[in-house]
Every structure is written in structure tokens, then in C-alpha cells.
Amino acid sequence: QVQVVESGGGLVQAGDSLRLSCIISGRTFSSYNTAWFRQTPGNEREFVAAIKWNGAATVYAHSVEGRFAISKEGAKNTVFLQMNSLKPEDTAVYYCATESTRHRNNPPRAWRDYDYWGQGTQVTVSS
């Protein structure tokens, strides 16, 4: 059974940094694309960043490009989201999600394309 567990959220001030972690267990870690999404109350989940199964490519939402970085460490079965220069509008629950399609070439941006989700971790950025 695939399990996805996020951690690392918290309350920070504008301009600060946070690093979120996502541990994925229950299958071969390195064969599936993984992404981060975020959601605020009353809104649909918003794509933030994704990393290709082999780590060779990353994609970002325009709103976070240049400030956030997604990476993975196979030895720890972990995907990271380094968030720098945080803004109040980055406040949201952040979710890690991974596919069930093995070795898909391009990581998708639509939340419906991801099959396994974590419980989310709250990030709050004060002004």
C-alpha cells in the first residue's frame, strides 16, 4: 500500500524560508512522478511543482518559479520542496501527490492525474 506523508509546514514571516518533506513508501520510489499542490479554503487544489520520476526534469507554477525548488533523494524515499522568499499569498495547505503511472515522460500539472496523496501540511506566512 502506497503511503504519502508530508511534514515541515509552519508559521513564518514574509521573506522567510521553509522546506517541506514528503516520504513515499510502499513501492519503488524512483519510478513515479511526484508533485506538490496547495489549497486554500473554498478553492481547488493548485499545482505548485513537480519532479520527473528520474529527477531529470522539474516544472513549476509561474507564481513560485525562482522561489521554490523541488528535489528528491532516493536513499530516503523523500521529495522536498524548498520554499524561499515566502509571501503571504503562499499561505495554504500543501499536499504531496504521486502518480500510479510508471515512468510517465512529463509530470502532469493537473491534480486529477495523481493517485496517492498525503494528508497535507499547513504553511502560514504572516506579513
Exposure of 29 by Cβ count < 10 A (0-12 exposed, 13-18 middle, 19+ buried)?
A: buried
Alpha helices in the chain (DSSP H): none
Name the nearest CA neighbour of 96 among 17, 29, 37, 8: 37
- What's residue 28's pLDDT? 82
Helix (H, G, I), strand (E, B) or coil at 89: helix
**Residue 111's pLDDT is what?**
96
Q: What pLDDT score was predicted for residue 49?
A: 98
Alpha-carbon distance of 13 to 57, in angstroms, equals 30
Tens-digit pLDDT string for the chain (127 aa): 999 999 999 999 999 999 999 999 998 888 999 999 999 999 999 999 999 999 999 999 999 999 999 999 988 899 999 999 999 999 999 999 999 999 999 999 999 999 999 999 999 999 9
The SS3 of residue 8 is coil
Q: What is the pLDDT of residue 89?
A: 97
pLDDT at 27: 86
For residues 105 and 107, what is the distance between their CA atoms, to the nearest angstrom?
7
